[in-house]
Chains A and B, each alone.
Chain A
Amino acid sequence: EDQVTQSPEALRLQEGESSSLNCSYTVSGLRGLFWYRQDPGKGPEFLFTLYSAGEEKEKERLKATLTKKESFLHITAPKPEDSATYLCAAGGSQGNLIFGKGTKLSVKP
């Protein structure tokens, strides 16, 4: 069964304290690994798509990487405005997205 697991469930950081979020997946015929940011009461906002192991993408303080079994979202020197829930989703062979439960990130000033 296709599955996506994110860890940790919640992460509290001080402003400027870098860290990583993990997304492990078991999906047959992976068609991309997607990262989204979701603020409370809003829909997910697209961040990155990664298609092959070894691929990396960056946007401001965020960098996403991909291996054959997992993806990491690295947050460098986070700011309070980075506080949100970060969702990872794997693209299945049917064109669907399989979502993890998310990591709720809180960055304190």
Chain B
Amino acid sequence: GAVVSQHPSWVICKSGTSVKIECRSLDFQATTMFWYRQFPKQSLMLMATSNEGSKATYEQGVEKDKFLINHASLTLSTLTVTSAHPEDSSFYICSARDLQGSQYEQFFGPGTRLTVL
């Protein structure tokens, strides 16, 4: 149980284009999903908290107009990187909190490797 998927697992795009990453909870409902970014040899940095049916909450320093988050249902959240640039290249990981589970346990997806040329 508690499986989270991400799609795509990797993507290469040209500078200036937009990329959408999907995060799905496969066997549970998640009112809250989280988006993290991880640079090489660094830890996970929280970018934003996504709540179903309401606007996402962004961490300080994360541009909300650049990283668009939509939490359309209890099992799906999407992150769109708009007008991507090479410095946006990173490993993006989502996590989800089980509606029925502990308030503090998060289950992570396998990550999406974004490379912007």
Q: Which residues of A contact B (CB under 8 A)?
A: 31-32, 34, 36, 41-46, 49, 87, 91, 95-97, 99-102
A-B contacts besides A43-B6, A43-B109, A46-B2, 16 pairs, CB < 8 Å:
A31-B104, A32-B104, A34-B104, A42-B110, A42-B111, A43-B93, A43-B95, A43-B110, A44-B44, A44-B108, A46-B105, A87-B43, A95-B32, A95-B103, A97-B34, A99-B43
Mask: chain B, 1-44; 1 = CB below 8 Å from A; 0 = not: 01010100000000000000000000000001010000001111
- Count of interface residues, chain B, beta-carbon cutoff 8 Å: 27
Interface contact B111-A97, CB-CB below 8 Å: no
- Whether, in the assembled complex, B50 has its beta carbon less than 8 Å from a beta carbon of chain A, the answer is no
Q: Which residues of A contact B103 (CB under 8 A)?
A: 31, 95
Q: Which residues of B contact A (CB under 8 A)?
A: 2, 4, 6, 32, 34, 41-46, 49, 91, 93, 95, 97, 102-111, 113
> Complex Cα distance A82/B46, Å?
26
* Distance from A25 Cβ to chain B, minimum over Cβ atoms (Å): 13
**Cβ-defined partner of A41 (8 Å) among B4, B104, B109, B113:** B113
Interface contact A96-B49, CB-CB below 8 Å: yes
